[in-house]
Amino acid sequence: MSSSEDGTEPVITFPYAELRMTDLDKITEPSSWFTDRVITVFLAILERTYDCPTHHIALVNCIFAQWCYTSGTSDVGTADYWTGYAPLLDKLAEKDFVIIPISDGLMQRGTEDDNDGWEDCSYLLSDGAQETGKHWSLVVADIRGQILKAKHFDSNCTDPNNVSDNRIAAECVMHGLRRALECNVAEIRRAPYEGYQFTLFAWTPHQLMDNACMTDGGACGLFICGFAEEFVKKLSSRSTNCKKKELNFRGIVKRKRSPCFDSELLREYVRNAVEAERVKLVGACGTAIHDKIRENIMIGSSTVDEEAIEGMFMVQRNGQDAIDPSSNSDCEHSIDLYEGENYFSKLPPA
């Protein structure tokens, strides 16, 4: 069976991640869990959309989190170790905030051996049978000043005093991040931090109790996608006078008695964002052809309707003659990357 037949053919490729058709289908499937591939691709879309580097925000992916976990739990004091991670260290240069996805699966994967490096994407591209994580959470780190401050947002935590695997993984990731920031390879900081603060944010909305869709048991991945965007929007809109002030997280997220978000709508939102990026990368025509081939496969057709596919190349635009779809700019599509309502609109204003 070919990759196109079993759904493992990549439909979007980003550095460190390939999104497969099977991932795309599961985004809107009720109670389905987001894989690290979906998380990484969506965060990459956010980074591009909000131009995070310009606003001094490092919106990092899952392999970065794994690397931080490894450096936080291993003896990695030599300069040679950090030199091997220079491309990832560059992402931290001239940044004020770092947003990191956390999976409790980090604790089950162990540490890398001497033959592994930052370019090894086995964690990111593992198949379903190897996905060991059961819960996603989010860390937002303020790396300015002399104290490294981190807030941990766990959508499944009802007791702030409970030390879960996810929380342990998050703290290990932060220890690794501190080591990275204080190393001399990328010259990110001139001096070590004087202190460190790690806090579980007690006002984090719960993925079930504060979710309008009460039947979605796999909302933790959606949660970190949605709140990562809320944080990016808040941080990128800061005025010059607020650049050095403490960030008021309670102005961004706050648990309320009424539902704070709707995971069913958020699934559609994430799917639309990914589909729009897919159109940007391969063009509307190429996307339509890929979907037509897949449709024939799903209904059990042994042959592809070549005539129908040929017709997709004849794109009509504003009543004009057919145009050449080889240029993506001529392939009109109706998907707006962030069209529609804010699915966290019930949150209080910052």
Confidence (pLDDT) at 111: 43
Confidence (pLDDT) at 186: 59
Residue 225 has pLDDT above 50, yes or no: yes
**Taking the mean position of all CA atoms in its chain, how far away is CA 211?**
20
Confidence (pLDDT) at 284: 55
Confidence (pLDDT) at 8: 65
* Stronger pLDDT, 150 or 83, i.e. the higher one: 150
Can you tell me the mean pLDDT for 188-209?
83
* Stronger pLDDT, 206 or 315, i.e. the higher one: 206
State what percent of residues in the chain have pLDDT above 90. Answer: 21
Residue 333 has pLDDT above 50, yes or no: no
Rounded distance, CA 250 to CA 100, Å?
A: 19
Rounded distance, CA 152 to CA 324, Å?
A: 50
Can you tell me the mean pLDDT for 198-202?
85
Of 76-85, 186-195, 217-226, the range with the lowest mean pLDDT is: 76-85
Highest mean predicted confidence (pLDDT) among 63-67, 112-116, 137-141, 262-266 = 137-141
Residue 252 has pLDDT above 50, yes or no: yes
What HEC string does the chain produce? CCHHHHCCCEEEEECCEEEEHHHHHHHCCCCCCCCHHHHHHHHHHHHHHCCHHHHCEEECCHHHHHHHHHHHHCCCCCHHHHHCCHHHHHHHCCCCEEEEEEECCHHHHCCCCCCCCCCCCCCCCCCHHHCCCCCEEEEEEECCCCEEEEEEECCCCCCCCCCCHHHHHHHHHHHHHHHHHHCCCCCCCCCCCCEEEEEECCCCCCCCCCECCCCCCCCHHHHHHHHHHHHHHHHHCCCHHHCCCCCCHHHCCCCCCCCCECHHHHHHHHHHHHHHHHHHHHHHHHHHHHHHHHHHHHCCCCCCCHHHHHHHCCECCCCCCCECCCCHHHCCCCCCCCCCCCCCCCCCCC
- pLDDT level of residue 316 (50, 70, 90 thresholds): very low
Confidence (pLDDT) at 78: 61
Can you tell me the mean pLDDT for 315-337?
31
- pLDDT level of residue 55 (50, 70, 90 thresholds): very high
Residue 328 has pLDDT above 50, yes or no: no
- pLDDT level of residue 125 (50, 70, 90 thresholds): very low
Domain boundaries, the chain: 3-276
- pLDDT level of residue 130 (50, 70, 90 thresholds): very low
Can you tell me the mean pLDDT for 263-278?
90
CA 285, 286, 292, 298 dihedral sign is negative
Confidence (pLDDT) at 331: 30
The tokens describing 47, both together, are 């980074």
User: 74-103 burial by CB neighbour count: b if 16+ within 10 A, else e?
Assistant: eebeeeebbebbeebbebbeebbbbbbbbb
Confidence (pLDDT) at 26: 87
State what percent of residues in the chain have pLDDT above 70. Answer: 61
Q: What is the pTM of this model?
A: 0.72
Confidence (pLDDT) at 140: 94
Rounded distance, CA 82 to CA 69, Å?
A: 14
Can you tell me the mean pLDDT for 168-183?
89
Residue 44 has pLDDT above 80, yes or no: yes
* Stronger pLDDT, 50 or 258, i.e. the higher one: 50
Q: Which CATH architecture has domain 3-276?
A: 3-Layer(aba) Sandwich (3.40)
